[in-house]
């Protein structure tokens, strides 16, 4: 019995089997269902995503929960349910609520906080459906269960959201997340897991202080400098990328750093992917959205072609795992 349990765990946490570029489900199959809900993750798994993304913030009682932002007012009914709990800036923060309280919220398709209008108008209707905030542990169990019942291993791709902001709030996000990943067998170099973060200092701390052996990806912003002082302009040079290689297995840049578009809508590969590959780093850009193409890009077909055949990236974050995966399968 115990042996079976250990086997099941090592099966769920072992390297995902897919070869070729990875389909990383961005917040789940978020093109179809509200982001970071279990239905969105289940759909992404069923659509064949190689990895499922988890954005992580802490609750008031230090539980890692799967939410994209430190604010919860753009994806839930918190303003209606707990109107008195907003901060002086008028916003509602996950960190001010216990898990029991967060569980009372109804999650929704993302909307503009001022107007209530959908960010992506053609997606799942705002305010419809019954969706609940998910803790990291619940999601790890969900993925483990699906990997077991389908026999297909999808990996996880957890992001530590704003660790320096959490620290300023008196909380240590990494210290809450990493032991849980370890418990579920995601802490080895061969585990089907990439830990991602925009803050280089936190990645370095995780390697040093947590002796983390698992794979990690430094996310890159469009701006030159991150909120924590990470100097993306300097890091995105041949020299900077070589200096990153001892710390991370790859980078997660915005698509605009790997591809440009000609006046006639042709993709033009920028040097970043080649430079990263020369430094031994993977490149997983964000975010493929069929309903929000980059300026100058005329179709999703062109976008996939540009990313995989012109820039030759190693995987993409996509809101539409089915579309990305079917494009890749047709060309394998
Ligand atoms: Ca993310």
- CB 314 within 8 Å of CB 2: no
Q: What's the pLDDT score for residue 19?
A: 76
Mean pLDDT, rounded, for 27-42: 98
Q: What's the pLDDT score for residue 14?
A: 55
Strand partners, 93: 71
Residue of higher predicted confidence among 13 and 252: 252
Mean pLDDT rounded to a whole number for the chain: 95
Is 68 marked active-site?
A: yes
CA dihedral 178, 180, 185, 186 (to 10 degrees): -40
How far, in Å, from the CA of 108 to the mean position of ligand 1?
A: 18
How far, in Å, from the CA of 31 to the mean position of ligand 1?
A: 15
How far, in Å, from the CA of 160 to the mean position of ligand 1?
A: 8
83 assigned to some structural domain: no
Q: What's the pLDDT score for residue 7?
A: 41
How far, in Å, from the CA of 1 to the mean position of ligand 1?
A: 37
How far, in Å, from the CA of 193 to the mean position of ligand 1?
A: 14
6 assigned to some structural domain: yes
Q: Which helix (H) or strand (E) holds 81?
A: helix 78-81
310 assigned to some structural domain: yes
Which residue in the list 36, 45, 68, 284 is annotated as catalytic?
68
Q: Is the pLDDT of residue 16 over 90?
A: no
How far, in Å, from the CA of 95 to the mean position of ligand 1?
A: 18
How far, in Å, from the CA of 2 to the mean position of ligand 1?
A: 35
- CB 220 within 8 Å of CB 254: yes
How far, in Å, from the CA of 54 to the mean position of ligand 1?
A: 7
85 assigned to some structural domain: no
Integer distance in angstroms from the first to the last C-alpha of the chain? 40
How far, in Å, from the CA of 4 to the mean position of ligand 1?
A: 33
Q: How much is the pTM?
A: 0.94
Q: Is the pLDDT of residue 177 over 60?
A: yes
How far, in Å, from the CA of 274 to the mean position of ligand 1?
A: 23
Is 277 marked active-site?
A: no
- CB 212 within 8 Å of CB 170: no
Q: What's the pLDDT score for residue 227?
A: 85
CATH number at residue 37: 3.20.20.190
Residues near ion ligand 1 (CB < 5 Å) are: 55, 159
107 assigned to some structural domain: no
Structural domain harbouring 193: 2-69+134-329
Strand partners, 217: 196, 250
212 assigned to some structural domain: yes
Mean pLDDT, rounded, for 51-80: 98
109 assigned to some structural domain: no
Among 134, 155, 146, 209, residue whose Cα is nearest residue 179:
209
Which residue in the list 26, 45, 71, 284 is annotated as catalytic?
26
Mean pLDDT, rounded, for 98-106: 98
Between CA 180 and CA 86 the distance in angstroms is 30
Provide the domain count of the chain: 1
Q: Is the pLDDT of residue 65 over 50?
A: yes
What CA–CA distances, in Å, run from 126 to 68, 76, 82, 109, 275? 17, 10, 19, 5, 41
Q: Is the pLDDT of residue 4 over 70?
A: no
| pLDDT tens, position by position, 126-152 | 999 999 999 999 999 999 999 999 999
User: To 10 degrees, what angle do helices 173-183 and 136-150 make?
Assistant: 30
| pLDDT tens, position by position, 229-279 | 999 999 999 999 999 999 999 999 999 999 999 999 999 999 999 999 999
Buried b / exposed e over 47-85, threshold 16 CB at 10 Å, is bbbbbbbbbbbbbbeebbbbbbbbbbbbbbebbeebeee
How far, in Å, from the CA of 197 to the mean position of ligand 1?
A: 8
219 assigned to some structural domain: yes
User: Which tokens is 155 given?
Assistant: 């990996």
| pLDDT tens, position by position, 179-224 | 999 999 999 999 999 999 999 999 999 999 999 999 999 999 999 9
Give the three-state DSSP class for 117. coil
């Amino acid at each position: 019995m115990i042996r079976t349990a250990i086997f099941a765990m090592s099966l769920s946490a072992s390297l995902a089997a897919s070869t070729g570029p990875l389909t990383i489900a961005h917040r789940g199959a978020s093109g179809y269902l509200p982001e970071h809900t279990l239905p969105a993750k289940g759909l992404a798994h069923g659509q064949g995503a190689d990895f499922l993304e988890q954005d992580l913030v802490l609750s008031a009682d230090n539980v890692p929960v799967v939410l994209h932002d430190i604010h919860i007012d753009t994806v839930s009914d918190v303003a209606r349910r707990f109107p008195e709990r907003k901060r002086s800036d008028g916003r509602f923060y996950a960190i001010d609520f216990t898990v029991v309280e967060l569980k009372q919220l109804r999650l929704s398709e993302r909307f503009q906080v001022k107007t209530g209008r959908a960010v992506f108008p053609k997606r799942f209707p705002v305010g419809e459906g019954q969706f609940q905030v998910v803790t990291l542990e619940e999601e790890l169990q969900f993925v483990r269960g699906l990997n077991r019942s389908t026999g297909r291993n999808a990996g996880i791709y957890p992001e530590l959201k704003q660790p320096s902001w959490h620290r300023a709030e008196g909380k240590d996000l990494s210290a809450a997340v990493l032991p849980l990943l370890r418990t579920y067998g995601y802490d080895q170099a061969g585990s089907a897991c990439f830990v991602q973060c925009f803050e280089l200092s936190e990645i370095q701390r995780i390697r040093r202080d947590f002796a983390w052996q698992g794979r990690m990806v430094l996310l890159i912003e469009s701006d030159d400098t991150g909120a924590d002082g990470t100097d993306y302009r300097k890091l995105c040079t041949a020299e900077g990328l070589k200096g990153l290689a001892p710390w991370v297995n790859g980078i997660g840049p915005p698509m605009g750093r790997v591809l440009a578009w000609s006046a006639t809508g042709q993709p033009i590969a920028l040097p970043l992917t080649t430079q990263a590959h020369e430094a031994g780093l993977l490149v997983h850009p964000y975010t493929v959205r069929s309903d929000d193409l980059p300026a100058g890009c005329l179709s999703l077909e062109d976008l996939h072609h540009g990313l995989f055949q012109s820039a030759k990236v190693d995987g993409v974050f996509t809101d539409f795992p089915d579309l990305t995966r079917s494009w890749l399968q047709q060309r394998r």
